[in-house]
Structure 1
Amino acid sequence: MQDPIFPCPKGLSNLLKPIATKFSLPTFPIHAHEIVIAFVVYHLILTRLSPWASARLFPKTYPHLSTKTKLNWDVHVVSLIQALFISTFALWVMFFDDERADMHHVFGYTGSHGALQGFAAGYFVWDLFLSFLHYDIFGPGFAAHAVCALTVFMLGFRPFVNYYAPVFLLFELSNPFLNFHWFFDKLKMTGGRAQLVNGLLLITMFFSCRVVWGTINTFRVFGDVWEAYNNIPEEFAVQGQSVPIWLAATYLGSNSILNFLNYYWFTRMIQTLRSRFDKPSKKVDTVVVEGTEVDMTETAKELKELEKEMLEVVDGLVDGKVKSKDE
């Protein structure tokens, strides 16, 4: 399958070929334009579209935010748009790339998988740029996540485990709920039913996409890389393909760090949720997920209220049955 967007301009492609050759990234010049497009579009959303649209859609909130909070707001708008775009594109690749069924899980490549790698890499280049530009605001965790994610997707241009690019990008399916949780707080909707429903969906999607789906496919990619390391398919071995130990260690190490962060974030979200039930008087700390503060305190409070309401309904039904029997 050809690149589903359009071919990389020859000038840009030729400019990057020496770099691609030096670092053994042959498909990098083919998809460099998608990296550039993603970086430019996301930065324009951050600096132009989000401030303009947010001020008009939320005139009572956005213009009155501090400079730091406005930046965070705009970053969340970018994150929301990126999550919706890249997860949709990933699903399209998984279901509509006819070459995917026959591609090798470690060495295989198709144009659509390369384009997906390009757009994902472009976002994480922008993410890394922003984390260093505003290091005092976002801190080391934000930068570390960007470095690990960018490493994984840049290695895909060897090509290497392109098959798993759309698989792991489905982590992004939980991010819209993460962003909405943050927006609800800033719109003074904290503790409302909308945030309660969103909080439950956030936990469900985070657990499904990142913990369950992520763990299963981490084992799969480890197995596929190990198999390729020990038994390189003849057609790829003839072309000089191999799995150097540093490559396997770098990719799998970065993948493991990202999975560890997912486990840590999910555990902390559950802890903050449970603490409201176990120790109502204790202050609940927030957990920072990909630079987003998530406080499940109000969600837990709403759940407790909902539980109380349900118990009252059940008690009413039971009392009604008892009375009818007595009568």
Structure 2
Amino acid sequence: MVTRSLVIIADSKLRSNPVHGADSNAESAYAVAVGYFLWDMVNTYGNIDMNGWGFMCHAVMSFSVYLLSYAPLFQYYGACFMMFEVSTLFLNIHLDFEDLGLKDYILYYINGMALVSSFFFSRIVYGTILSIKVWKELASSAIPISTFASSIIRTANITLIGLSYYWFGIIIMTAKRNALDADLIRAVEEMNKKEAKAK
């Protein structure tokens, strides 16, 4: 979806009318997004104890705004916000490393740095800039946007950007804990080596 979103973002026709512009390529991509987030809602709700309400809110809000893109509304920005998913690639690899018990490998740490960096730049920096642009567009659109649609977009934006900040905080705390754990393990190994030499 990320590569497809880059094609949509590059579309000058859609970029020139980011609020009400429509494009068949975007609509096709968002059909996949709507289907995915519908599945995600059902799956998350079925495993709510494991996934939590944050992921449920993410699924519901994402489903809602991508469904609204067929109004047509914010098809250009839909592709921009899809760039958040750059970090998901590194998250999935990170989880795979953990499932396979490969946390001691250098690739695990390199991927972890890529996860933190991509999450920060795609969701926090770029996401905040996009959010400001969307709110400005909602306030100044030449063609009025219904109160219903505007409310859904605003609620989804606050929820999703809020979740990104919250999740980034968790990522940073986890990274710090893992770094401390690694330092502790190294310190214990050094102590064991010194004790072995002393004997």
Matched length: 185
Letter in 2 for 1:253: T
**Which deviates the most, 116-125 or 200-209?**
116-125
Contact 2:20 2:74 in 1 (8 A): yes
Q: Does 1:91 align with 2:91?
A: no
Q: Is the 8 A contact 2:124 2:165 kept in 1?
A: yes
Deviation at 1:142, TM superposition (A): 2.4
CA distance in 1, matches of 2:43, 2:64: 16
Matched to 1:203, the amino acid is V
Higher RCO (Cα < 8 Å, 6 or more apart): 2
Instruction: Give distance in 2, aligned partners of 1:136 and 1:181.
Output: 22
Is the CA contact (8 Å cut-off) linking 1:116 and 1:165 kept in structure 2? no
- Among 159, 165, 179, the residue aligned to 1:263: 165
- In the alignment, structure 2 segments of 5+ residues that lack a partner are 188-199
TM-score, normalised by the number of residues in structure 2: 0.85
Counterpart of 1:134, as a letter, is: N
Aligned partner of 1:210 among 115, 123, 131: 123
| Cα distance, 1:206–1:110 mapped onto 2, change above 3 Å | same
Structure 1 stretches lacking a partner, 5+ long? 1-85, 233-241, 277-296, 309-327
Q: Contact (CA 8 Å) 2:14, 2:76: kept in 1 or not?
A: yes
Whether 1:247 aligns to 2:149 is yes
Q: Does 1:100 align with 2:2?
A: no
- Structure 1 stretches of at least 4 aligned residues deviating more than 2 Å after TM superposition: 97-102, 132-142, 271-274, 299-302
SS at structure 1 position matched to 2:52: helix
AA aligned to 1:143 is M
Cα distance change of structure 1 residues 177 and 247 upon mapping to structure 2, 3 Å threshold = same
Whose helix fraction is larger, Structure 1's or Structure 2's?
2
CA distance in 1, matches of 2:12, 2:135: 25
1:193 is aligned to 2:106: yes
Residue 170 of structure 1 pairs with residue 74 of structure 2: no
Match for residue 117 of structure 1? 30
Which one has a bigger Cα radius of gyration?
Answer: 1
Which of 155, 161, 178 lines up with 2:68 in the alignment?
Answer: 155
Query: What is aligned with 2:59?
Result: 146
Matched residue, 1:79? none
Deviation at 1:301, TM superposition (A): 4.7
- Kindly indicate whether the alpha-carbon contact (under 8 Å) linking 2:57 and 2:159 is maintained by their aligned counterparts in 1: no
Q: Is the 8 A contact 1:148 1:254 kept in 2?
A: yes
Q: CA RMSD in A?
A: 2.0
Q: CA deviation at 1:272?
A: 3.1
Q: TM-score by structure 1 length?
A: 0.53
What is the CA distance between 1:202 and its match in structure 2? 0.4
Residue 152 of structure 1 contacts residue 255 of structure 1 at CA under 8 Å; is this kept in 2? no
Distance in structure 1 (CA, Å) of the matches to 2:33 and 2:174 = 31
2:152 & 2:12 partners in 1: Cα distance?
30
Question: How far apart are 1:136 and its partner, in Å?
Answer: 4.0
Change (3 A) 1:137 1:270: closer
- Output the amino acid matched with 2:101: K
3-state SS of the aligned residue for 1:160? coil
